[in-house]
Structure 1
């Protein structure tokens, strides 16, 4: 594996709408991010991924882009973005933006021109088909529910394809002119000083053509779009071209949102000349999913989580780097999801941080994760903003769940959990804004906030700073960044333990339960590098792990 400049970095995701509001309108903005750069630098972050802040009608919270060359006024201006890139550069930090090119907004000029003249140039920028006797071209289900086909505005005899929201028409990547427009935009941003992109929903750009039906998997007669994606061939041709025409000449850092890749394709995706620098490990995220919907999803257990992580590490091997997460803007809060109900505590939050952060790969921290922000407790569907959550609520109700059961389900999985405003302090609105926040603040902000934890050496925030400092410590950097990951006592219930072996040998061990347990050390402990308890109890090469204790030992 060829060594890259970003391998030893730590990345942090910002959801700008909810990070910090500088002007009191209730919406986070780019000047607000600039004000918090020193906080992020002190934390130890190097790479900042900023979720979409382009012009958008916000049908899908900015992932429906109406102009790829500007900034939404709620977030600031292009000059603000230029200043953010420059201020980050001064601090030796790097800015990534979201690249959202599977689809655009129906308010983008391309789609407006396609509606004006479906048979013209821009009609071929999208998937537009004639309507025939009310029969759909195929029975694919949108990610947000319902058919992927929608009548084309102004043309009742035509329909267009959208894998996501109906206001997010899919771009036709089979059209070379569409691809040229994408590469032009990529280079425009990189020339402006951007360091790279997180690439959204990119596997969706290749459709199975001609259209075909797949077996229906719900009473609606539709089929999950995953079946089509598994059947589609040739996405690599598009991705390789995008790398060569966009990313390569700038040595851009790219992290792909990739699902459904096959083991034999991994070198193509993240090898030395891969389509992307890295891709997220979603194995724990997608575990237990059901085609029926969230209500039928299997809750992940500590042993499931361990197996998912180890499987991902094994299949990647030395091919390339994964990007490791426990949460992002599309997922619930990690501490509320991976830690069993009723067992969330400071110790368990620190344990979870250790177990994911020390995996081989690039660690990503999502805003608020470093202070242990938790899921909301929703009491009504009216509190929900997220379109996918609203759809899943109705799916659950239609399947026979009571309102209470449906609410409990969506409270666990809702994307709104990660989108509540960042909790900076215990003042009004958690210090996020002087105005009314666009989304309700989690009521627990008085107890969970940055200010309360910043000067507390025992806080989760301080613990994350220690984890980051350990990764960058010259004595251990080589082992943590490039050392092999070897599972230890893999079959032990509620224990996650693994070696990181390189110039040194480290043992990372976490007791994933409230009950204590002992493990035999294979070698003598030379030094305790990190511990979420005041001390590590080791006698005769036996490590006595307390309730949710996690340790990093040098052997």
Structure 2
């Protein structure tokens, strides 16, 4: 494998609206991010991915972009973005932006021009079909519920949107549209951007010609994935994009890729892959149901272990996964992957170590490093997220009571990750001096960055140690490039694996409250990390306390 500048890095995702508010308007902004760069540098972060901060009507919290060449005034000005790039560079940090090019906003000038002249140049930037009374062009269901077709204002046509109706899909079959996308990517890379996280990219290729499929719910519609499974030829688009943009700048790119076929993995992230890396979503999609969130199956520690090992085996040494515990589209990882009632600093550190030491690039989502948890909802009126509101209705339609429906969607709501970052125990968790746009998790007085910075036993201090281990010249080669081999894979509620390179490391985690004894394969040389003060060893029998995790050099 050719070694790349980003292989040994640690990435951190910022959701700008909820990270740090510098001007008291209740919304996080770019000057707020700049003010926290030293905090991130101290943690050991190298790459910062910003969720969208382009101008947007926020129908889907910024993933509906109305201008790809500007910064939304809510978040600051272009001069602030340029200053962020400059300040990051001083600290040897790289900034990634979100590349959202499956769709734009219905308030983008392209779409406005398409409405004015649907048969002209910009009409062909979208998927338009003639409107037929009482009949849709296809029966696909959008990701946010309801049909994917909406009337094109002022015309006798309909347009396709696989997400929100304010997010019309861009027609990638049109080379003129692709040229506009590449031009924009290069414009940002010329500004000094380190690269991009690429949003929902699998959706850019539709199965042609369009047709309907067997309905899978009473609404007469079918899951959009049914169509995507039949789509062929996405590689032509992605290869062209790589060659015209990222490759010329040695930029880092990470794809939000779902449903890739095993034989396509080398194409996506191999030596000359479309992307530098792609996210591992094996754990996040576990237990999902076509019926909706109300029918989802909870993930157990053994399921989590199996998901991680499956992904690692599938990728092998083809390329690099980007490993996540959570992101802006998911609930808080500690509330999802740690059994209910067992969230505590010890279990949060275990989850951190088990995920962080996997082969691949570790991504931390804001607040993950201090162990932020899901937020308690007392009413559906407190919910902002459109997908949560849709799933709440789906649960009600399935016969759940309002209380049960709320309980179900609260577990998975994207709002859990979007509540303001908990900086301190001051008002509004130190996020803003104004009224926060989304409620602050009431546990901020107990869980906040300020109290953890000076505590050597805090969750944040543990993350800092994990990052230091990844960067330690003595172990870096093994942690970054070493093979991963499961150990005692079938032992219940135990997740253990080797990292084998020029050294051999063993990561062992007791994924339960009860103590557990484990046989070591041989004597160890050194304890590299332990989330407990003790190490109980009799001969080769290691007695692990509840949620104890240990990293050993063998």
Question: Which interval holds the TM-score relative to the shorter structure?
Answer: over 0.9
- Who is 2:38 aligned against? 38
Distance in 2 separating the partners of 1:338 and 1:215: 34
Paired residue for 2:434?
Answer: 435
Which residue number corresponds to residue 186 of structure 2?
A: 187
1:111 is paired with a residue whose SS is helix
Q: Within 2, Cα distance between the matches of 1:195 and 1:537? A: 45
Between the aligned partners of 2:315 and 2:151, the Cα distance in structure 1 is 43
SS at match of 1:183: helix
Partner of 1:55: 55
Distance 2:132 2:442 in 1: 52
> Which digits, 9 at most, give the CA deviation of each residue in 1:472-529, with x for residues without a partner?
0111111100111000010111000000011111100111101111111111011111
8 Å Cα contact 1:528/1:536 also seen in 2: no
Q: CA deviation at 1:133?
A: 2.8
Partner of 2:302: 303
Corresponding position of 2:333? 334
Structure 2: which 5+ residue stretches go unaligned? Answer: none
Superposition pairs of residues 473-552 of structure 1, within 5 angstroms: 473-552=472-551
Q: 1:369 & 1:509 partners in 2: Cα distance?
A: 21
Quote the residue 1:248 is aligned against. 247
Q: Which residue number in structure 1 is paired with residue 196 of structure 2? A: 197
Distance (Å, rounded) in 2 between the aligned partners of 1:114 and 1:408: 42
* Correspondences of 1:36-435 after superposition (within 5 Å): 36-155=36-155, 157-435=156-434
Q: Is the 8 A contact 1:96 1:195 kept in 2?
A: yes
What SS is found at the alignment partner of 1:285? coil
Task: Note the C-alpha offset of 1:441.
Answer: 0.3
**Which SS does the other structure have where 1:284 is aligned?**
coil
Residue matched to 1:7: 7
User: How much has 1:134 moved relative to structure 2?
Assistant: 2.2
**Cα distance, 1:539 vs. partner?**
1.4
1:102 Cα offset (Å): 0.2
Deviation sequence 1:212-268 (CA, Å, 0-9, x none): 111111111110101111110000100000000111100110000000101100000
3-state SS of paired residue (1:87): helix
3-state SS, counterpart of residue 118 of structure 1: coil
Tell me the CA shift for residue 143 of structure 1. 0.2
Spell out, residue by residue over 1:133-184, the C-alpha distance to the aligned partner (whole angstroms, 9 max, x if none): 32111110000000000011112x2100000000000000000000000000
For residue 442 of structure 1, report the CA deviation from its aligned partner.
Answer: 0.3
> Separation in 2 of the partners of 1:7 and 1:537?
35
1:11 Cα offset (Å): 0.2
Query: Paired residues, what number?
Result: 554
- Measured against aligned partners, the alpha-carbon deviations of 1:294-345 in whole angstroms (never above 9, x if no partner) come to 0001111110000000000001011000000000000000000000001111
TM-superposed CA distance for 1:392, in Å, is 0.2
Deviation of 1:379 after TM superposition, in Å, equals 1.2
After TM superposition, the runs of 4+ consecutive aligned structure 1 residues lying more than 3 A away are none
Superposition deviation, residue 20 in structure 1: 0.2
SS of 1:7's partner is coil
Q: TM-score, normalised by structure 1?
A: 0.99
